[in-house]
Chain A
Amino acid sequence: MSITVENIYKSYGDARAVAGIDLVVPDGHMVVLLGPSGCGKTTTMRCIAGLETPDSGRIMIDGRPVFDSASGIDVAVNKRNVGMVFQSYAIWPHMTVFENVAFPLTMQGIGGTELQERTFEALEQVGLADYAKRGSSALSGGQMQRVALARSLVMRPAVLLFDEPLSNLDARLRDRLRVQLRELQVELKITGIYVTHDQQEALALADQIVVMEQGKILQIGDPVDIYQNPKSSHIAEFLGYSNIFPLASIEEADGLRRIEIREGGRRLVAAAGYSVPDGEDAAICVRPDDISIQHVADGSAPPESGNTFVGRVTLASFLGSHMLYRVRDDDDAVWEVLSKDISRDITVGSRAALTIHADAIKVLPVR
């Protein structure tokens, strides 16, 4: 079961939602479409499902064209054999859990023991076999979520689509279900497309991440690759690089780069990386956990040298396993630091020294 999307375009009036998307999802893989709201990720998925009709392009499911503007093919949504888990779950409130899950089989004309067996099999896969007889409107969000998943699994779809299915759940439940979902997807070798704006979800679930914006694909890669090598500061920002500062100049020297931040003019040393074409805006991107922080006693000499500099702490927020700091340096730039060392000395108003390893500073084009 594979999906191929070729050059899909879709506009609503003057607004272009999807502008030329190409995508291949190999059998048993999970591809995550990641991007801010309005980037076209949901529209792309709904085009694959058949809930929207693209203006042009071609979509193949398992080698069979289900949409092709050139030859006028447009297979109806109920004939495409795709499953979908909606953001709102879309659990039918007037049916029991069992009836909800059995619905796709009823539509295929399956009844009797096969219907019973397959429905219970799907319910067991999501751990809800005991809930079969329950009315569905009294379920919790997490349970509805799993009913929706069972309803999609039961039809043994060629491809399973997930439309931000975890976004309406609270944080703890979201973390747990994310892991369960990945386990199930790998175990059942589900071919899937997952839409989200949450980078953690994307990194945890994907075999491949597709970063989208304004209807276009910005970058495709496996999660580790994307996380370590974003192609632009814009993508980096989306992946949790919270320290992003535009640059005034870059000098190449001895395999290193001497750079100057535009605002304030701080000079730092960065490792070589992407080459930024002349004349294009560049920025440095640093992850908050790549900066180390040390207490500086009042009055003591500031250890300023190379990539170490001093600032005043404006925020110290305890997150349990980490401490989140905001530090305003003497050039008025604000740095975000995530530190595993929980020091009671570093408090709001105190001074602290920040050190960034040259390898941790990524110099990237803005776009």
Chain B
Amino acid sequence: MTHSARIPAQAPLKAGLFKRGTLGYLVVLVLALMLFLMVIVPLLMIVFASFTNVIPFSGATSFIVTLDNYINLFRSDLGEVISNTLIVSLGGMVMAVSIGSLLAWLGARTDIPLKPLVHIAGIMPLFVSLVVASVTWSFLGAGRSGYLNIIFDSLGIPLQIELRSLAGITFIHGLYFVPYSYIFVYSALTLVNPDLEQAASVHGAGLRQVVNRITFPLVRPALLSAALLSFVSMAEEFPVPAILGAPVGIETLSIRIFNLMTRVPGEPNQAAAASVLLTAIVCFLVYTQRRVLRGRDYRTVTGKGMPNRPIRLRGLKPFAVIFVLLYSFVSLGLPVIALILGATRSNLYVADAAALFDVSQLTTKFIIATLNDPTVQRGLLNSLVTGLATAIFGTAFYFVIVYVVNRTHLPGRQILDYMAMMPLGLPALVMGLGVLWTWLALPVPIYGTLIILVVAFITRYIPQGVRAITSSIAQIHNDLEEAAMISGASRAQAVAKITLPLMRGAVISACFLILVLAMRELTSSLLLYTTNTRVLSIVIYEAYEQGLWTTVASISLIYTALLVVVTIAGRRWMRTEF
């Protein structure tokens, strides 16, 4: 081979305007500005409002700095509100982590039959809208007319359950926050080499000792992570206490914020103070989680595939199967039955269990009427549009952030990383409030359009999206991209031809995840929607507020069907990475 080399013709690039990296700095600057506008400014608005007597940029010409908002907040029955918040979050956390980690262990490590069902049971509740779940459970167990209570009554069982209570809210939390624990612990377990457990068996440990001394300590960081994340999510969560607690006067912190905002006359400054309080609690917990977990990742990732040698359950197998079936039935089966009954019964009054299942009472006329309702149609369309826009623009935005943070040496990329994780500490309702005030203040007229919802949703899911994409970019060796650049590709070409094609699966999976999360989102849109921009979750919530039971059930059924369709469509892309 003759080295009649093609020496690139161009002269060496001179310093100055075209110095290598100028474009990079620009990208970092733009990203930082966007994150600043999306995350920091809303937070500043709230902090400002909490210490003054005016709403920022609302046209007020003067303001006074004051602590009155906090003083008034603490003068009210705040103690009870905080203790309510702690009860429903702590109780829910214990229940969700127990169920979730047990399911994860059964699915990842044992020879339990019906493994796909274990996986579905562990993950599906994530795609159930909490609005629908709460509404459905209020059909099932609210007062004497709850379906379950009717059945108990007819069967002569002296048991009445009341979901509209602290215990009820805790129960719903514990039931539907299981996926966090399942996903964290499951992925930790699949990354722990079974050899470690087998070595313990070889050295004389029985099943219990293996689990207690080896498996459990190895997945403890994941468990802790899941526990704190579920706790935080439940503490800031709105729909469950709003639907099950508010009608009987139970308030959590997020309900209090909402009430302060929406009652007449409103107390937006006191709401801001409560928001700061809630944000402080959430931030403290997220910070604690990161502290606790620092340097405690025991996952032993090897290039070789893990041998699949499940632990034999032997006599415990039937109990394990019953546990999985019971959880699936209670979390998914019962609500679907209740929704179908609620949407198709022509008569609201149910005398006894026999009447409940009386087929002659069933009709599809409500569902058809609901489908023809322009409000519902509008909501459906709005949900789809905002969901898709959030998924597409959000994923592109997250990808650029992840790429800059992980694959460049640009200065300021760590700051981007910090800002990207900040929404974890921002309760959804607080963020909605901040976004509202930010965009009312800015001379960009997006309030009243779907765009403001998309902005809020994209902001809310930055941490989830960034994490999902980060974990997959970490699996693609940097050499692959550098080899392309060595071969003559520019960075943009290397990303387009190598990195993106290799990450296609992960990016599409992140896209679907964001789509589903955005479509089931209620809380951050509560303070942002207007008459023409109601999404489906808002439509359900409003109908529930007005006591339109059949409508609520019908829309919920349609909404659930939609989420199921999207989930199934995205199933082959959906990965269990968060």
Instruction: List residues of A whose CB falls within 8 A of some B CB.
Output: 1, 49, 51, 53, 62, 64-66, 68, 71-84, 86-90, 92-94, 103-104, 107-108, 121, 125, 148, 151-153, 155-158, 188-189
Contact = CB atoms under 8 A, between A and B. Distances in A.
B439 to A, nearest CB: 40
B203 interface: no
B20 A156 contact: no
16 contacts: A64-B7, A78-B487, A79-B10, A81-B7, A84-B483, A87-B479, A89-B479, A92-B483, A92-B498, A103-B484, A103-B489, A104-B488, A108-B488, A148-B483, A156-B5, A156-B6
Given A64-B12, A76-B20, A108 B482 contact: no
Contacts of A92: 480, 483-484, 498, 502
B483 A86 contact: yes
A73 B12 contact: yes
A83 B487 CA distance: 7
Given A81-B6, A94-B501, A189-B3, A155 B487 contact: yes
A82 B1 contact: no
Interface in B1-39: 1, 3-8, 10, 12-16, 19-20
B5 A108 contact: no
Contact of B6 (A76, A77, A103, A108): A108
Given A92-B484, A151-B483, 14 more contacts: A73-B13, A74-B19, A78-B486, A79-B10, A79-B488, A83-B486, A84-B486, A92-B483, A92-B502, A103-B484, A103-B489, A121-B1, A156-B1, A156-B6
A156 B4 contact: yes
A305 to B, nearest CB: 54
B482 A90 contact: yes
Contact of A90 (B20, B480, B490): B480
B477 interface: yes
B364 interface: no
Contacts of B12: 64-66, 68, 73, 75
A154 to B, nearest CB: 9
B482 A86 contact: yes
A74 B15 CA distance: 8
B383 to A, nearest CB: 35
B483 A90 contact: yes
A77 B485 contact: yes
B447 to A, nearest CB: 44
| Interface secondary structure of B, over-half rule | loop
B187 to A, nearest CB: 22
A49 B486 contact: yes
Contact of A78 (B3, B485, B501, B502): B485
Given A79-B10, A108-B6, A86 B487 contact: no
A65 B15 CA distance: 14
Contacts of B408: none
A83 B6 CA distance: 13
B3 A72 contact: no
B489 A62 contact: no
Contacts of A77: 482, 485-486
B493 interface: yes
A73 B14 contact: yes
Interface in B68-110: none
Contact of B502 (A79, A93, A156): A93
A62 B485 CA distance: 20
B4 to A, nearest CB: 7
A78 B488 contact: yes
B85 to A, nearest CB: 43
B5 A88 contact: no
B488 A155 contact: yes
Contacts of A79: 8, 10, 488
A88 B477 contact: yes
A152 B488 CA distance: 11
Contacts of A87: 479
A365 B480 CA distance: 43
A1 B5 contact: yes
B525 to A, nearest CB: 39
A83 B483 CA distance: 9
Contacts of A74: 13, 15, 19-20
A108 to B, nearest CB: 6
A76 B498 CA distance: 18
A158 B486 contact: no
A79 B484 CA distance: 12
B15 A151 contact: no
Interface string B50-72: 00000000000000000000000
A107 B489 contact: yes
Nearest to B8: A79
Of the listed residues B6, B12, B498, the one surrounded by the most CB atoms of chain A closer than 10 A to its CB is B12
> Which of B14, B479, B487 has most A Cβ within 10 Å?
B487
B255 to A, nearest CB: 48
Contacts of A71: 15
A75 B483 contact: no
Contacts of A89: 479
Contact of B479 (A1, A88, A94, A157): A88
A189 B19 CA distance: 34
Contacts of B480: 90, 92
Contacts of B16: 72
Contact of A103 (B10, B14, B477, B487): B487
Given A74-B19, A94-B502, A188 B13 contact: no
Contacts of B1: 121, 125, 153, 156, 188
